[in-house]
Amino acid sequence: MRVRKIEQEKVFMNTIIHITLFSDKPTVYTQQKIQEAFTCFDQVVKKYTRFSPKSELSALNNSGGKPMKVSDEFYYLIEYMLELSKLTDGNYDPTIIDLLETYGYGENRNFKELDDPNLYENIRTLVKKRPSPSQIKLNKKNRTVQFAPRQRIDLGSIGKGYAIDLAYDVLEDFPAFMINAGGDIRVKGPKPDGEKWKVGLYKSQLPNQALPKDDYTGIIELENGSICGSGGWARKVRFFHHLLNPKTGFPINEITQTYVIAPKAIEADSWATVLFTMGKSGLQLLRDKGFRGIIIDQKGEISQTAKII
């Protein structure tokens, strides 16, 4: 059967999900699989959003510090994040909802808290008394999770990557495809013509500087694998953005962008956050994992695990 190129997109997670797929399968089957792949993003949101009281994540966050049995999938995701937190000495912290909400980064996002003259002192006080991710108790046999008092968790640093991986699994029997979720990408290749997938790395505006003349920092080629990025510019409101230093509670301004290349999107997604919070010291951890990474600092200088761009 002739290989056909198909492109479709939908919006989930407030992000355009774009699928480019080369199919050697019947049309009806191909369309069914593409729609099933899109559904993965909707399912992850419904199960793990902190903004719906019906989600499994909200149920756990409202468990009042008591052990709660969770699904196997949710247990795996929590265990993954806590292992990463331990590996990075707490620089990766999936429990910073309390800090984000202190800035006003909640469901309404009106950010009136940014005008509070006591904001910085409130943040400093919270950092001193808030529980650590290491205090979360996991029982693998019973699949239970127990938080410290007032502790909550969020999947913002892995949710999109995990959804991309689920969609990848749905499409895996097609010869080549790209799943692009707002710039977070996983591909299977090579393409039918033998070429690798080309991915342009978006160049953001540096602090107090004009918009860059070039749209891209560089272009990389991927045959199989994922690339994801983190950037404070994406959700910046005045002096606040969502990428915080868990040790201080304050937004990280020394770095503007990070990119990580890894086999799976959940790895690239979470490690892009790690690299943003750890800076250059995180590059060696990436090398140890066999991943590749790029850091762009506030001056536009680039640091890499190895020559990537």
pTM for the model: 0.94
**pLDDT score, position 238:** 81
Burial of 202 (0-12, 13-18, 19+ CB in 10 A): middle
**pLDDT score, position 14:** 86
**pLDDT score, position 207:** 59
- For the stretch 97-135, pLDDT in tens is 999 999 988 777 778 888 889 999 999 999 999 999 999
Sheet holding 137-139, edge to edge: 68-69, 144-146, 137-139
Q: What span, in angstroms and rounded, lies between the C-alpha atoms of 199 and 227?
A: 9
Domains, in order of start, for the chain: 1-50+156-188 (3.10.520.10), 56-146 (1.10.3980.10), 196-309 (3.10.520.10)
Element (H, E) at 222: strand 216-222
**pLDDT score, position 210:** 56
Sign of CA dihedral 49, 51, 56, 62: positive
Supply the mean pLDDT for the chain.
92
**pLDDT score, position 241:** 83
Beta strands in 24-171 (DSSP E): 68-69, 137-139, 144-146
DSSP secondary structure letter of residue 71: -
SS3 136: coil
Residue 51 has pLDDT above 60, yes or no: yes
Q: What span, in angstroms and rounded, lies between the C-alpha atoms of 142 and 257?
A: 40
Residue 308 has pLDDT above 70, yes or no: yes
- For the stretch 5-20, pLDDT in tens is 999 999 998 899 999 9
> Cβ atoms within 10 A of the Cβ of 36, count?
13
- For the stretch 257-305, pLDDT in tens is 999 999 999 999 999 999 999 999 999 999 999 999 999 998 889 999 9
CB 176 within 8 Å of CB 191: yes
CB 179 within 8 Å of CB 40: no
Q: Which residue has the higher pLDDT, 171 or 52?
A: 171
Percentage helix, strand, coil, to 5, in the chain?
35, 25, 40
Element (H, E) at 169: helix 159-171
- For the stretch 171-228, pLDDT in tens is 999 999 999 999 999 999 999 999 999 998 877 766 555 556 667 788 999 999 999 9
Q: What span, in angstroms and rounded, lies between the C-alpha atoms of 242 and 96?
A: 10
Q: What span, in angstroms and rounded, lies between the C-alpha atoms of 294 and 218?
A: 11
- For the stretch 57-104, pLDDT in tens is 999 999 989 999 999 999 999 999 999 999 999 999 999 999 999 998
Look-up of token digits 């008394």:
129
